[in-house]
Structure 1
Amino acid sequence: MSEKLRSKEYFDQRATREMGKHLHTKTRSLAETLASACRILAMTGQEAGLAGQISARSERENAYWTLRFGLGFDEATADDFIEVDQDLNTLSGEGMANPATRFHLWVYKARPDVNAIIHTHAPWASTLAAARQKLVVLHMDMTPFYNDCAFLADWPGVPIADQEGVIISAAIGSKRSILLAHHGYLTAGSSLQEATYLSVYLERAARMQIRAQAFGPLIPVPDHLAQEAHDYLLKPSIVNATFDYWSRQADAAIGQGARSM
C-alpha cells in the first residue's frame, strides 16, 4: 500500500519551525552590520569605485547612516559610518556622505517598511541596465525578484538632487528592487541583511539571464511556482543565515589576505 503524500504546505511549515529553532542570527551593532554588508558586496565583485552606496534608516526622523564618502566597500570598518540628515549634514561621525545618496531619503519617506538601501553599478546588473532590459525570472535563484523587481527605463542623471529621488522612489513603488536603465540597480530591504541578500542575488540573476540568452528564448518560471519560491527564499531565517555565512566568508578572505602579507 502506497504511503499518503503530505502536502508541500506541511513541509514548508515544518521547515519554518525548525529554522526558527536552529538558525540564529549573529548579534551585531548597526555599524558592524553595515561593515559586514560592505565586505560582502566587495567580495562578490560589486564595487564600482566610489559609486556604490549603502545606507540604513536612523532612529532619528529624516536621517540615515551611510559610509563616509571617499571609501570603497572593501575598506569599510564599523568606524567609517556617519549619520546624516535630509540635507546631508553630518549628525554623527566624521566626514561627508556621498552626494548621490540623497535619493535614499526619498525612498525612506515613501516606504516605511524599508530600513536599508543598497545601490551599486555591479557588472552584470549594469549590463542589463545598459541594454535597457528588464529582469526575467528564469530560475529558482531568481525567484526572490518575481513581481518584486521594478524597472526604470529612462535615466534621470546623476542622482544628487531632489528630482531624481522623486523619480526613483515612484518607480520602485512597493517592490524591493529596481533595475535602473543606463545606470545600475537598487535594493530596498526591511533589514540590511535583506538588502544585501537581494543585492547579491540580483547580480547573479543578471549574469544568469545574460548567459541564458545565448541559448535561445528566455522561458520564465511558471507564475505560481515563482511566487511560492519567492516567499520561501525571502523568509527572514534564510536571509539572515545566508548573510551570516557570506559575512564569515568575507572575514575569512580578509584574514587570509592579512596572513599572506
Structure 2
Amino acid sequence: MDGDAVVRPKEAYHAKAEADFRRNLGIPDWTVRQRLALACRILSMEGHGSGLAGQLTARGPEPGTYYTMRFGLGLDEITATNLLLVDDDLKVLQGEGMPNPSNRFHLWIYRARPQVNCIVHTHPPQVSALSMIGVPLKPSHMDTSMFYEDCAWLPEWPGVPIGDEEGRLISEALGENRSILLAHHGLLTATTNIEESAVLALFMERCAGLQLRAMAAGTIRDLPPEVAREAHDYRLKPKPVQATFFYHARAAMRAGHAEALG
C-alpha cells in the first residue's frame, strides 16, 4: 500500500474489535424475568406470534426451576409479572394459571444440556414454510452465517410435543447445536442466555425467508467453509449479540411494549 499505511493480520483486527466491544457495549440492568418478557415482545413484533403456539423459557433461580409463559397469553401479552415459575415436571411454583403442556420437550433439552439457560420455540411464517417442504436450513449469506454448521434438522414430525418421546427425539436431534429446524413445525434455539436465543430466532426466520427467495430464483451457492466458520464465530460474539437484542428491545419499548418490564 502507498505511504505509511499499516497492514496487519486479520487476527489483530478481531482482537481490537473484541476489546472495543467489551469497552463500549453496555448491558441494561434487567432481570431474567424482564429480559424474557422483552424477548417475547420482540419476537411478537417480528412476526413470530402464532396465536398461543410457541414457548419461551429460561432457567429459574433454583436448580430444576424454569420461567415460562402462562398458557392462554400470546407473545404480545407477556410481562415480567405474569410469567410462571415451574419445576421440572411443569408444576407451578409461582404465578397464576398453567404452563403450555408443550413445554415438556424444553425440559428434555435442559436436562441434556446443562449450559443451556434459555430456549425459544416459535412458528414464524418463513421458517414454517421451509419446514413444510423437507429442506434443511441453508445459511448462505453473511447475515445468517451464525447458523453455519450450527443448525440441526429434524426431518420427521413426531407430533404435538407434549410427551416424553417428542422431548427425547427433539433433544437428540438438536445435539450440541444452538438451533434446530423442526419439520412441519417451526424453529428452536437453545443457548446460554436469553439474548442469544432470541437473536438467533430472529435471524433464523430471516435466513428461511432469504432461502425461500433464493430457491425460487436459482441454485443457492455454498459459503466457503473457512470464511463461513470465521463469520459464524464473529456474528456470535456475546457483546454484539447483546447489542442486537437491546436494539430490538428499544424498538419494542418505543412501540408501546415497555409494560413488559413491569
TM-score band w.r.t. shorter chain: over 0.9
Judge conservation of contact 1:69–1:96 (CA < 8 Å) in 2. yes
Judge conservation of contact 1:63–1:105 (CA < 8 Å) in 2. no
Judge conservation of contact 2:180–2:187 (CA < 8 Å) in 1. yes
Q: Mean alpha-carbon deviation: is it higher for 56-65 or for 192-201?
A: 56-65
* TM-score after normalising by structure 2: 0.95
Q: Does 2:256 align with 1:250? A: no
Matching residue within 30, 33, 41 for 2:32: 30
Instruction: Give the CA deviation at 1:150.
Output: 0.0
Secondary structure of the structure 2 residue equivalent to 1:242: helix
Letter in 1 for 2:57: S
Matching residue within 111, 114, 119 for 1:112: 114
Report matched runs for 1:201-220 at 5 Å. Answer: 201-220=203-222
Report matched runs for 1:211-230 at 5 Å. Answer: 211-230=213-232
Query: Which stretches in structure 2 are left out of the alignment for 5+ residues?
Result: none
Report matched runs for 1:89-104 at 5 Å. Answer: 89-104=91-106
CA distance in structure 1 between the partners assigned to 2:154 and 2:179 by the alignment: 11
Q: Does 2:18 align with 1:5? A: no
Q: Could you say which residue in structure 2 is the equivalent of 1:54? A: 56
Q: Could you say which residue in structure 2 is the equivalent of 1:17? A: 19
Secondary structure of the structure 1 residue equivalent to 2:102: helix
Letter in 1 for 2:236: L
Q: Could you say which residue in structure 1 is the equivalent of 2:74? A: 72
Q: Mean alpha-carbon deviation: is it higher for 167-176 or for 215-224?
A: 215-224
Residues 193-230 of structure 1 show CA distances to partners (whole Å, capped at 9, x for unaligned) of: 00001000000000000011122111021111110011
Q: Could you say which residue in structure 2 is the equivalent of 1:172? A: 174
Q: Percent identity?
A: 49
Report matched runs for 1:144-183 at 5 Å. Answer: 144-183=146-185
Q: Could you say which residue in structure 2 is the equivalent of 1:139? A: 141
Letter in 2 for 1:224: E
Instruction: Give the CA deviation at 1:168.
Output: 0.5
Question: How many residue pairs get matched?
Answer: 256
Letter in 1 for 2:42: I
Instruction: Give the CA deviation at 1:235.
Output: 0.6
Q: Could you say which residue in structure 1 is the equivalent of 2:195? A: 193
Q: Mean alpha-carbon deviation: is it higher for 135-144 or for 55-64?
A: 55-64
Instruction: Give the CA deviation at 1:38.
Output: 0.6
CA distance in structure 1 between the partners assigned to 2:179 and 2:199 by the alignment: 11
Residues 30-55 of structure 1 show CA distances to partners (whole Å, capped at 9, x for unaligned) of: 11111110110001000011111000
Query: Which stretches in structure 1 are left out of the alignment for 5+ residues?
Result: 257-261
Secondary structure of the structure 1 residue equivalent to 2:180: strand
Instruction: Give the CA deviation at 1:255.
Output: 6.5
Q: Could you say which residue in structure 1 is the equivalent of 2:233? A: 231
CA distance in structure 2 between the partners assigned to 1:216 and 1:254 by the alignment: 41
* TM-score after normalising by structure 1: 0.95
Instruction: Give the CA deviation at 1:4.
Output: 4.6
CA distance in structure 2 between the partners assigned to 1:101 and 1:127 by the alignment: 23
Instruction: Give the CA deviation at 1:119.
Output: 0.4
